[in-house]
């Protein structure tokens, strides 16, 4: 498949930088992500049609690029952290603290062309083609590099008949909710809105009596430069309709005589069971399912939906491989339900307090041991991102934080449907493709 040709690269700053001295201290939720990769998500669109239905000339596409740059600049007025950089303060006790210096150093904007690549080349293959990773900027850049690298980078890649807008945001600055809040806001400004429907709340939230800034031990060279190298992996997007998800939910609840199990818990349990069946593990081997649990709705008195930053907690279900396979969908989903339920306000607050006393940074090596890890959410507003030429037709993620077992959940294009982007070994994915129990619920 064709390579990517770079057309231009430039820095985009906020159009009206009103808070040049704004400093934003980082919370434990933010700081724990310093050693992993950025968030990388992107949207695929049909190429806009000119009014006269003639072929879209380069000059016309350049006007689209200029429009996106201008609207991005105006959007950064509302999101000053994204045009800033990290700054550090070293302390006498061999600790360091970090904050976002909203200095308007600028976001990166790249215009590229994937010559000969069409929309069909991206969405029709069974496995996500590797060229998709080339649609994202700042590949291989980890969050701690935000002292010198942009905290936001955008790449607009022109296809034969489409446009892919790939966005990379430093994960220490934003979680998935904040990522899509920014993306939604940019599309609003691009459509001509003068103000945002949901302005972000920029002030970081800390547990009462937290010493700010939060200090962490000085980072060692081994921590900064040790790179996780995943094995050979492939990605496939599995599509589940609203009707099939409802059937899974009904089945899970019926098996254990309850109505507690949610649609998402039933779906993820169904998917986990298939993955474990096709990994052919020792039945007595302990395995984990980890998922990111949103804290905004669990700390409603302190956090609003528009809170801009990280507000997620990792929850883990630990079971033996044999239990996952043999005990049924309902049993597995119930364990997931119990795990989510224990993440109360008290548990979240205790985590933040204890982390401040004893900071522990997440590394890829610590995440990937015998685990499936789910990120993102089917509740994010992905298909509402209309930049002025129609809604997207697909969403894909970049290479950041990918390993054998990374499961990314997106809303499907049809209301109530869900897409699961699974990053697994080729052998596991092939086994799942032949798994009748799984594929009965999948729309190819």
- Catalytic residues, by residue number, are 171, 386
Q: Identify the burial level of 336 via C-beta atoms within 10 angstroms of its C-beta, where 0-12 means exposed, 13-18 middle and 19 or more buried.
A: buried
Task: Tell me how far apart the alpha carbons of residues 80 and 104 are, in angstroms, rounded to a whole number.
Answer: 7
Comparing CA positions, the residue from 198, 178, 176 lying closest to residue 189 is 198
DSSP letter string, 348-369: HHHHHHHHHHS-----HHHH-T
Comparing CA positions, the residue from 146, 140, 138, 116 lying closest to residue 129 is 116
Task: Tell me how far apart the alpha carbons of residues 125 and 115 are, in angstroms, rounded to a whole number.
Answer: 18
Task: Tell me how far apart the alpha carbons of residues 137 and 400 are, in angstroms, rounded to a whole number.
Answer: 10
Cβ–Cβ < 8 Å for 214, 97: yes
Buried b (16+ CB within 10 A) or exposed e, 244-255: bbebbbebbbeb
Owner of token pair 């150093």: 105
Measured from the Cβ of residue 379, the count of other Cβ atoms closer than 10 Å reads 13
């Amino acid at each position: 498949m064709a390579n990517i040709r770079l057309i231009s690269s430039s820095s985009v700053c906020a159009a009206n930088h009103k808070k040049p001295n704004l400093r934003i201290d980082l919370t434990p939720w933010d700081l724990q992500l310093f050693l992993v990769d950025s968030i990388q998500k992107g949207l695929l669109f049909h190429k806009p049609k000119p009014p006269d239905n003639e072929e879209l000339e380069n000059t016309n596409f350049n006007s689209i690029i200029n429009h996106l740059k201008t609207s991005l600049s105006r959007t950064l007025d509302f999101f000053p952290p994204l045009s800033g950089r990290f700054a550090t303060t070293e302390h006498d006790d061999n600790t360091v603290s970090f904050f976002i210096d909203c200095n308007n150093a600028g976001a990166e904007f790249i215009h590229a062309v994937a010559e000969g690549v069409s929309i069909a080349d991206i969405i029709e293959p069974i496995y996500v083609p590797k060229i998709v990773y080339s649609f994202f900027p700042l590949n291989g850049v980890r969050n701690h590099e935000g002292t010198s690298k942009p905290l936001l980078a955008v790449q607009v890649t022109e296809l034969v008949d489409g446009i892919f807008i790939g966005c990379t945001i430093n994960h220490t600055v934003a979680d998935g909710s904040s990522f899509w809040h920014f993306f939604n806001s940019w599309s609003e400004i691009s459509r001509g809105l003068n103000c945002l429907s949901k302005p972000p709340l920029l002030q970081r939230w800390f547990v009462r009596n937290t010493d700010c800034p939060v200090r962490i031990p000085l980072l060692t060279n081994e921590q900064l430069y040790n790179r996780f190298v995943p094995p050979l992996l492939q990605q496939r997007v599995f599509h589940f309709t609203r009707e099939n998800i409802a059937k899974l939910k009904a089945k899970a609840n019926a098996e254990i005589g309850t109505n507690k199990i949610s649609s998402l818990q039933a779906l993820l349990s169904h998917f986990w069971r298939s993955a474990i069946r096709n990994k052919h593990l020792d039945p007595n081997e302990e395995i984990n399912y980890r998922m990111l649990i949103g804290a905004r709705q669990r700390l409603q008195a302190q956090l609003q939906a528009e809170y801009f930053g990280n507000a997620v907690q990792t929850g883990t279900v630990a079971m033996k491989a044999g239990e996952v396979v043999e005990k049924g969908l309902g049993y597995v989903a119930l364990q997931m339900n119990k795990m989510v339920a224990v993440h109360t306000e008290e548990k979240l607050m205790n985590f933040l307090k204890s982390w401040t006393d004893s900071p522990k940074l997440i590394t890829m090596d610590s995440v990937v041991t015998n685990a499936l890890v789910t990120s993102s959410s089917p509740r994010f507003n992905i298909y509402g991102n209309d930049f002025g030429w129609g809604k997207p037709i697909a969403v894909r993620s970049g290479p950041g934080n990918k390993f054998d077992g990374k499961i990314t959940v997106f809303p499907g294009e049809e209301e109530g449907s869900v897409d699961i982007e699974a990053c697994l070994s080729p052998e596991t994915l092939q086994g799942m493709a032949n798994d009748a129990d799984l594929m009965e619920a999948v729309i190819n």
